[in-house]
Amino acid sequence: MVTDQTGKIQITWFNQTYLARSIRVGESYAFSGKVKAFRGHLSLQSPEYEKVDQTTTPLKLDNIHTGRLVPVYPETAGVSSKWLRSRINHTLKLVEAIDHLPQSLLDLYNLHP
């Protein structure tokens, strides 16, 4: 069960007991998914989630998996959409960092955005 200032809702993942150890009471998370009726209550079933920074708004602009239009990629064994979105986000941050490096440093390491 998760709560916020608007109310509470049950979250259900099937056959993923490890998630109970990943999500901690008192920490803030953003959840995204379909709301369905489950055992007489509203429930988010197998939602995407991510931890959010409590000092900013819950749906900040740099969320990767929630709070925005989220790309869904074709999946294969060991490569989920969530994993791929994380790697793409990391790569984009690296490219952005390269854009702000002095030209002399870019030339030294042959880095050209």
List, for residues 39-48, the tens digit of each pLDDT value.
888 898 888 8
| Partners of residue 79 on adjacent β-strands | 76
Please state the domain extents for the chain: 1-55, 71-113
Which tokens hold the place of 32? 């995204």
Give the pLDDT score at 26.
85
Give the pLDDT score at 111.
64
Cα-flanking dihedrals φ and ψ of residue 80, to 5°? -90, 165
* pLDDT < 50 stretches in the chain: 58-59
Q: How many CA atoms lie within 13 A of 42 on its CB side?
A: 8
Paired sense of beta strands 41-45 and 35-38, if any: antiparallel
Spatial distance between the Cα atoms of 92 and 13, rounded to a whole number of angstroms: 30
Give the pLDDT score at 87.
87
pTM of the predicted protein model? 0.59
Spatial distance between the Cα atoms of 90 and 94, rounded to a whole number of angstroms: 6
- The three-state secondary structure class of 99 is helix
Spatial distance between the Cα atoms of 97 and 113, rounded to a whole number of angstroms: 10
